[in-house]
Amino acid sequence: MLASASPQRAEILRRLGIEFRVRVSSVPETHEGDPARVTVQNARRKAVAVRRETAHEAILGCDTAVALEGALYGKPADATAALATLRALAGRTHEVVSGLVLLLAEEERTAVAHTAVTFRELDEELLAWYVSMGEWRGRAGGYAIQGAGAALVRAVRGGYENVVGLPLPELLDLCPRLLVGS
């Protein structure tokens, strides 16, 4: 069970041939504090919220945030907030942090992934172009690296899939047999 509305996370799992269902929670997310702690806390809340007491299913919760100099950037509320976020990230290196929580019958496993992303210098024309595309909607940090947001990025150090929304090495560390079905 994937406790996430993220189409990117679902697509990553599909590409790997992993069978899953989506059950979305409507729990509020926290956006203040240590990025690793916040993302794991949000992932746990999502997973617990969709757990059904009678079902014995694995549930994966995930949360991703963008961190820069102590500030956390989640999903911008509107185009103005997206523009402000992208201006803050322009020409700088930020950290994409994802927290994973896997709930099993009697066990909880957690992991955190960190990826450094450096943005190019971005002028107002490029920022306006990107924001006008609307790709920032529903994206931590206001960009989608797997889409037109790739034009904003100079370098990635760490897991690319983490920036997309689901860190595969950490997921497979939580559940090593995931790809072989048992």
CA angle in degrees (0–180, nearest 5) for 87-157-91: 20
Distance of CA 120 to the CA centre of its chain: 21
Q: Which of 115, 130, 134, 112 is nearest to 63 (CA)?
A: 112
Kindly provide the residue ranges of all beta strands, DSSP E only, lying in 69-152, ordered along the sequence: 71-73, 93-103, 108-119
Q: Are 167 and 8 in contact (CB under 8 A)?
A: no
Structural tokens at position 124: 């107002």
- The one catalytic residue in 34, 63, 78, 173 is 63
Distance of CA 29 to the CA centre of its chain: 12
Instruction: Respond yes or no: is residue 63 known to be catalytic.
Output: yes
Q: Are 100 and 107 in contact (CB under 8 A)?
A: no
Q: Which of 38, 178, 17 is nearest to 102 (CA)?
A: 178
Question: Catalytic positions, please?
Answer: 63
